[in-house]
């Protein structure tokens, strides 16, 4: 955590929360976090019958850094033992062998992938991916006990997975698989009980970030890998976030940390204001947002936007919403807000948005990407010194736009 920028506080009804330790600027990077655990989002066993011509499969990605291998110059290096895991370079391979692809994990995956005897055969994809997470977590306990403790310190209670008979059945099944794979003589001191398996699944569900495929307007954007980012996990949700996260998995990063996530501020933030991300695209309707927050994160959202939209009927939502998701009245409100902001900025003041009936209108016009089917959030590039950047970057499609020309849809570069 950038201790000078963020402070962790306990907030009533929201648990640990991150607040600005001082006034912060639009575009400022408030956190760069590396994963303590990464695992593939692909099922352990390929779908049956396996389509060789399938556009993407596990072997398209480096099993260590999750870069798209076909984009790279060098030919991929399969793991000599399990061969289903491939690496983009000798460097990634040797790092993986001493961490995420240890001999135990490699053997476990090999057993689970054996179509003749795998207990995961014909099991749902979600269960197979949960199994991947659990063996990665067990492996973490062995190769890095301190990072495993970090994982255990994240929010997530076993009850989330053992209170309903169906999810309890899955936990018992996954527990039996993990137990069968665990060596009797193990360096892991923690017992992987049913309760721990349920707690780990809950921690994964509440805290994992998805590393996504690049955006293509005509395709649904799939998750390539999931990661546990111990510090980024402390950001709470808001349906109108003031920060958003970026990742650059396929980029050639100088430090080799291509799986890091970077959290940047969308606009200026005063000291002590909580910094929040949105846990999903901001264009979702009130009922859909509340459903996802309840089912996936176990809470009811009472943010400014939800308080306004709670009184809307579905009809009101649909009436007259145009491409940017705003109706005429809202658009006018947002335009006024825009003018207010310019005036406030000229006067060196802040924009008061609290009393706005349409807290999202200003946000949608200024910070939501208007590229077809993108629904990403725009944040300025980092300021240079005290000078704010006029270039906004979309955290989904990556497009760069000049903030003054945003409403005309002009792009700077792709
Ligand atoms: C990724 S964690 C965020 C950090 C968490 N508050 C903690 O103490 O570790 C997600 C969990 O935080 C809580 N949370 C996040 N946003 C919230 C909000 N807007 N209102 C209430 N609880 C929230 C929920 O319990 C959610 O499952």
CB neighbours of 363 closer than 8 A, spacing ≥ 6?
Answer: 240, 282
Q: pLDDT band for position 353 (50/70/90)?
A: very low
Give the per-residue pLDDT at 55. 47
Nearest residue by C-alpha to atom 26 in ligand 1: 297
Other Cβ atoms closer than 10 A to 392: 26
3-class secondary structure for 346-390?
HCCCCCCCCCCCCHHHHHHHHHECCCCCCCCEEEECCCECCECCC
Helix, strand, coil % (nearest 5) of the chain? Answer: 35, 15, 45
pLDDT at 351 over 60: no
Q: Pocket residues for ligand 1 (CB within 6 Å)?
A: 13-17, 155, 206-207, 233-234, 236-238, 297-299, 301
Ligand 1 centroid to 301 CA: how many Å?
10
Ligand 1 centroid to 276 CA: how many Å?
10
Per-residue pLDDT of 241-266, as tens digits, reads 999 999 999 998 767 799 999 999 99
Tokens of 162: 């053992």
Q: pLDDT band for position 66 (50/70/90)?
A: very high
pLDDT at 52 over 50: no
pLDDT at 43 over 80: yes
Report the atom number in ligand 1 closest to the C-alpha of 234.
4
Give the per-residue pLDDT at 187. 67
Q: Mean pLDDT over all residues of the chain? A: 86
Q: Is 7 helix (H, G, I), strand (E, B) or coil?
A: strand
pLDDT at 402 over 80: yes
Give the per-residue pLDDT at 59. 82
Report the atom number in ligand 1 closest to the C-alpha of 155.
9
Ligand 1 centroid to 238 CA: how many Å?
10
Tokens of 28: 């400022």
pLDDT at 270 over 70: yes
Strand partners for 172? none
Q: What is the pTM of this model?
A: 0.89
φ, ψ dihedrals at 61, nearest 5°:
-125, 145
Per-residue pLDDT of 216-226, as tens digits, reads 988 888 999 99
Other Cβ atoms closer than 10 A to 336: 13
Ligand 1 centroid to 210 CA: how many Å?
17
DSSP per-residue string spanning 141-172: HHH-HHHHHHHHTSS--THHHHSSHHHHHHHH
* Terminal Cα-to-Cα distance of the chain (whole angstroms): 31
Q: pLDDT band for position 359 (50/70/90)?
A: low
**378-380/391-394 β-pairing:** antiparallel
Q: Percentage of residues in the chain with pLDDT exceeding 70?
A: 81
Q: Provide mean pLDDT across the span 370-398.
A: 95
Give the per-residue pLDDT at 190. 80
Nearest residue by C-alpha to atom 10 in ligand 1: 206
CB neighbours of 136 closer than 8 A, spacing ≥ 6?
Answer: 37, 38, 39, 100, 105
Nearest residue by C-alpha to atom 21 in ligand 1: 14
Give the per-residue pLDDT at 145. 95
Distance CA 58, CA 41 (A): 8
Q: What is the CA radius of gyration of the chain?
A: 23
Tokens of 144: 């890095």
Per-residue pLDDT of 116-141, as tens digits, reads 899 999 999 999 999 999 999 999 99
Select from 18, 152, 153, 155 the residue to mutate for testing ligand 1; criterion: most ligand atoms less than 8 Å from CB.
155
User: Per residue in 210-234, is it b (16+ CB within 10 Å) or e — as a string?
Assistant: ebbbebeeeeebeebbbbbbbbbbb
CB neighbours of 397 closer than 8 A, spacing ≥ 6?
Answer: 215, 369, 371, 374, 376
Which class for 384: exposed (0-12), middle (13-18), buried (19 or more C-beta within 10 A)? exposed
Give the per-residue pLDDT at 72. 57
Distance CA 185, CA 190 (A): 12
Q: Is 395 helix (H, G, I), strand (E, B) or coil?
A: coil
Find out whether 29 and 382 touch, Cβ atoms under 8 Å. Answer: yes
ipTM above 0.95, yes or no: yes
Find out whether 73 and 45 touch, Cβ atoms under 8 Å. Answer: no
Helical H runs in 71-214? 90-97, 103-113, 125-143, 145-152, 159-162, 165-181, 194-207
**223-228/37-40 β-pairing:** antiparallel
pLDDT at 236 over 80: yes
pLDDT at 271 over 60: yes
Give the per-residue pLDDT at 256. 74
Distance CA 338, CA 335 (A): 5
Ligand 1 centroid to 364 CA: how many Å?
24
Per-residue pLDDT of 73-100, as tens digits, reads 667 899 999 988 999 999 999 999 999 9
Q: Provide mean pLDDT across the span 211-239.
A: 95
Report the atom number in ligand 1 closest to the C-alpha of 297.
27
Ligand 1 centroid to 29 CA: how many Å?
21
pLDDT at 318 over 90: no
Nearest residue by C-alpha to atom 27 in ligand 1: 297
Select from 299, 304, 305 the residue to mutate for testing ligand 1; criterion: most ligand atoms less than 8 Å from CB.
299
Q: pLDDT band for position 57 (50/70/90)?
A: confident
């Amino acid at each position: 955590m950038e201790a000078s920028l963020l402070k962790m506080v306990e907030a009533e009804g929201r648990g640990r929360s991150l607040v600005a330790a001082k006034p912060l600027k639009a575009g400022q990077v408030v956190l760069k976090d590396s994963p303590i655990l990464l695992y593939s989002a692909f099922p352990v066993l390929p779908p049956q019958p396996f389509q060789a011509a399938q556009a993407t499969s596990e072997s398209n990605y480096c099993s260590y850094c999750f870069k798209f291998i076909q984009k790279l110059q060098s030919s991929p290096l399969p793991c000599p033992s399990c061969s289903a895991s491939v690496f983009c370079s000798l460097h990634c391979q040797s790092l993986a062998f001493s961490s995420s692809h240890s001999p135990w994990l490699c053997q476990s995956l090999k057993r689970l992938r054996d179509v003749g005897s795998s207990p995961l055969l014909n099991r749902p994809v979600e269960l197979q991916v949960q199994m991947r997470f659990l063996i990665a977590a067990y492996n973490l306990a062995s190769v890095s006990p301190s990072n495993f403790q970090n994982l255990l310190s994240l929010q997530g209670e076993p009850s989330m997975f053992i209170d309903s008979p169906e999810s309890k059945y899955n936990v018992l099944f996954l527990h039996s698989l993990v137990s069968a794979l665990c060596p009797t003589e193990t360096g892991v001191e923690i017992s992987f009980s049913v309760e721990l398996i349920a707690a780990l699944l809950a921690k994964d569900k509440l805290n994992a970030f998805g590393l996504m495929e690049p955006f293509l307007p005509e395709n649904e954007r799939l998750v390539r890998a999931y990661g546990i980012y111990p510090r980024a996990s402390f950001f709470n949700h808001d349906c109108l976030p003031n920060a958003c996260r970026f990742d650059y998995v396929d980029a050639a990063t100088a430090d080799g940390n291509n799986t890091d996530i970077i959290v940047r501020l969308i606009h200026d933030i005063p000291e002590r204001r909580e910094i929040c991300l949105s846990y999903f695209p901001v264009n979702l309707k009130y009922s859909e947002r509340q459903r996802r927050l309840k089912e996936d994160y176990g809470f009811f959202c009472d943010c400014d936007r939800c308080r306004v939209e709670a009184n809307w009927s579905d009809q009101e939502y649909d009436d007259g919403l145009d491409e940017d998701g705003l109706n005429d009245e809202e658009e006018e409100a947002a335009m006024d807000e825009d003018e207010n902001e310019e005036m406030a900025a000229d006067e060196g003041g802040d924009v008061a948005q609290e009393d706005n009936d349409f807290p999202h209108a200003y946000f949608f016009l200024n910070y939501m990407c208007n590229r077809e089917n993108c629904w990403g959030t725009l944040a300025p590039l980092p300021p240079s010194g005290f000078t704010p950047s006029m270039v906004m970057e979309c955290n989904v499609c990556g497009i760069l736009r000049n903030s003054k020309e945003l409403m005309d849809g002009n792009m700077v570069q792709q």
